[in-house]
Amino acid sequence: MSALRVTTVRQSNEEATGTVLFLHGSEGSGEGILARIKEHLGDDWQFRHLRILFPTAPVMNYTPLGGAAANVWFDRHRLSPTVPECLESIEASMEMLKQLIEKEIELGIPLHRIIIGGYSMGGAMAMHLTYRMFPRVGGCFAMSSFLNDSSIVYKSLETNTEDPLPPLSMMHGDSDELVPMEWGAETLKQLQRFGVKGTMTIARNVPHELCKEHFINLTRWINNIVPHL
């Protein structure tokens, strides 16, 4: 498994007082997510007080591609809520991402001013990282994303002692055929059962892709969770 490379974005010379970790989808890259943000918003993202990290997933053999190598956060048997999770690959990526977050803490960023999120597979990885390893971060977001029905995230929350848990912002397109909106809604419902306070914003006539509406809503949410000091 290869090491992570990270694209970092800062908007000003201000000292960062918070961090956003944004994880891409399967076969994507950190640079690719940043390019889509520029495409939709015309700039790198306007947070004068935050450092934004766009890591690229390690290269691993990916079963849906016939075992070919790809930049993915974890392997999976197929894209379905009913299959078991490939935990070995999930755990390996969590350990690599843990190092990024610990580095931010070493730089002086408190956990409650760190937000973890992502798109599609990256959103799933963000929910694993947040609710299993860092339940004291400021918040989590998941765009066009999911957890499998038997996810270890749910099992971990059964014994959770953190109160409150980080809030969750989910965004989905109602025309998503790859990860149906109903799958995302069921994920949110299950997390709410365990005390996660979350919302889902629906983009009309949007398939499985990032859209401007999602980024506008996400920007507003991040500024509310980790405001400028």
Half-sphere exposure of 138 (CA within 13 A, CB side): 23
- pLDDT value at residue 13: 64
pLDDT for the residue 9: 81
| CATH number, domain 5-225 | 3.40.50.1820
Tens of pLDDT, residue by residue over 30-47, are 999 988 888 888 776 778
Do 54 and 45 touch, CB atoms closer than 8 A?
no
3-class state of residue 209 by DSSP: coil
What are 8's strand-pairing partners?
A: 53
Phi-psi region of 195 (alpha: psi -120 to 50; beta: other; left: phi over 0): left
228 given a catalytic annotation: no
C-alpha distances (whole Å) from 83 to each of 2, 47, 116, 175 are 26, 38, 25, 23
- By CB atoms closer than 10 A (0-12, 13-18, 19+), residue 93 is buried
Cα 229 from Cα 226, distance rounded (Å): 9
| Selected catalytic residue, list 128, 144, 169, 176 | 176
**What's the pTM value of the predicted model, to 2 decimals?**
0.94
128 catalytic? Reply is no
- Taking the C-alpha atoms of residue 50 and residue 137, their distance in angstroms, rounded to an integer, is 15
Active site annotation includes 156: no
pLDDT of amino acid 41: 85
* Beta pairing, strands 68-71 & 114-119: unpaired
What's the rounded Cα separation, in Å, for the pair 116 and 22?
6
Given 29, 149, 156, 208, the catalytic residue: 208
Query: Which residue is it, tokens 């390690």?
Result: 58
Exactly one of 89, 120, 145, 169 is catalytic; name it: 120
CB 53 within 8 A of CB 41: no
Give the residue ranges of the chain where pLDDT is below 70. Answer: 1-3, 11-13, 44
